[in-house]
Amino acid sequence: MAQATRSERLNAAAGQQVQRVRDFVDDTEPAALVVVTIIALSLLAAFVGFLAVSNLTALPFALFVAATGYGWVRHQEETALVLTLTMTVSTLLILGLIIVFIFRESVPVLWYESVTVLGVRVPGLRMFIQPNWDAVAPPIRYSMVPMIHGTVMVTLVATAVAGPLGVAAALFLSEIAPAIVREFVKPGVEILAGIPSIVYGFIGFTILSPWASDQFRTTGQGSYLFVGIVVGLMALPTVVSVAEDALSSVPESMKSGSLAVGTTDWQTMTSITLPAAFSGVSAAVLLGVGRAIGETMAATVMLRGVPRLTEPLVNVFYGQETLTSLIARNYGEADGLQMDALFVAGVILFITVLVISIGAQYIEWRMRSKLGGEA
């Protein structure tokens, strides 16, 4: 029953789309239609040519430019519509291309690292069940386990730093700070987001790493603890700005209602504002986690670059390698299977962060519909 209504609905939606296209064709002058068609087809041809690494790509592209120029002068309305539509589609296309290309590059090493389980060949499984990465001496193994461990350690420390500090700073900005203080602190947080990660990494590498190695009497430099702290500071602005948006989207009437019965500001925050914005605040922390997972340069210059697990696993005073730093450090000398293994690391990163991003958006969407604001 549900199936039937679903397909009916889809049919109806498709019918509507067809109807809209038909209306567009009916309402538009034939000359404009021709121009629009030429624009679309030539751009498509140029794209196909680009994908096929053809030298002739320039020809359809030149046609596209010419047709667009002509259409702009003679049929601006239709040309603008088609142009903006293609721009929207190309945004989707870029995400699609990223998925296709990084997955395609990672296929060979997945076959190489396959394991037969119960008579079924599972590609890529060996990358996750043994912890040995060795690209030089046989047996050559490309395990992702040490890097996943490193990324998890760094992300845990970073979240412990960015989560509480970020939410507290967001509360300060959205609920507590006087307007004049906010005018200064808010750009400050934005500027914090703007400091390039390589500058953080440089300071970490020259100042923090030697200091930490001395403080904890470790052999050599580089520890997950301090990479995590630095990455947490870098993720902080993301948490602050998203959480602040969530907190200030709580309707003023709810807060005033609470204040009117004589609560303190802090009571209103803990019993009204924070619970109402809870999902938005957790989405902010999630996005911060996503930032921390993807942070590359600080980790690359501060870590040791030896892909192995720390002994014992909870030893945060040693930092070996994360998924991101593996790619940044090894792209130069890598080729063949090793390069493909770097793409596997990229795929893991991409999927993890995409899932986090979609999860955060779902949480935010639920919060907005719960608060009854505009969707």
Residues 202-261 that bind other proteins (CB under 8 A): 202-203, 205-206, 215-219, 233, 236
Of 354, 360, 345, 370, the residue nearest 127 (C-alpha): 345
Closer residue to other proteins (CB): 37 or 76: 76
If binding is defined by CB under 8 A, does position 88 make contact with other proteins? yes
If binding is defined by CB under 8 A, does position 46 make contact with other proteins? no
Closer residue to other proteins (CB): 115 or 203: 203
Please state the length of the chain.
375
If binding is defined by CB under 8 A, does position 126 make contact with other proteins? no
> Which residues face 115 on adjacent strands?
122
What DSSP line would sit under 52-110, residue for residue?
A: TT-GGGHHHHHHHHHHHHHHHHH-HHHHHHHHHHHHHHHHHHHHHHHHHHHHHHHHHHH
Q: Which of 83, 115, 254, 259 binds other proteins (CB under 8 A)?
A: 83
If binding is defined by CB under 8 A, does position 102 make contact with other proteins? yes
> Are the C-beta atoms of residues 133 and 308 closer than 8 Å to each other?
yes
> Are the C-beta atoms of residues 298 and 234 closer than 8 Å to each other?
yes
If binding is defined by CB under 8 A, does position 21 make contact with other proteins? no
If binding is defined by CB under 8 A, does position 291 make contact with other proteins? yes
Which helix (H) or strand (E) segment is 120 a member of? Answer: strand 120-122
Residue 174 DSSP class? I
If binding is defined by CB under 8 A, does position 70 make contact with other proteins? no
Class of residue 177 by CB neighbours under 10 A (exposed 0-12, middle 13-18, buried 19+): middle
Q: Which of 14, 358, 369, 373 binds other proteins (CB under 8 A)?
A: 358
If binding is defined by CB under 8 A, does position 178 make contact with other proteins? no
If binding is defined by CB under 8 A, does position 47 make contact with other proteins? no
Residue 140 DSSP class? P
Q: Which of 138, 139, 312, 372 binds other proteins (CB under 8 A)?
A: 312
If binding is defined by CB under 8 A, does position 90 make contact with other proteins? yes
3-state secondary structure (DSSP) of residue 123: coil
If binding is defined by CB under 8 A, does position 331 make contact with other proteins? yes
Binding to other proteins in span 258-277, by CB under 8 A? 263-267, 269
Q: How far is the CB of 116 from other proteins (least distance, A)?
A: 29
d(CA 22, CA 19): 5
If binding is defined by CB under 8 A, does position 188 make contact with other proteins? yes
| Cβ atoms within 10 Å of 106's Cβ, excluding its own | 20
Closer residue to other proteins (CB): 135 or 354: 354
The piece of 113-121, 128-136, 138-146, 305-313 that touches other proteins (CB under 8 A) is 305-313
d(CA 147, CA 320): 8
If binding is defined by CB under 8 A, does position 353 make contact with other proteins? yes
Q: Which of 18, 34, 44, 80 binds other proteins (CB under 8 A)?
A: 80
> Are the C-beta atoms of residues 241 and 162 closer than 8 Å to each other?
no
If binding is defined by CB under 8 A, does position 42 make contact with other proteins? no
d(CA 172, CA 322): 33
Q: How far is the CB of 294 from other proteins (least distance, A)?
A: 3
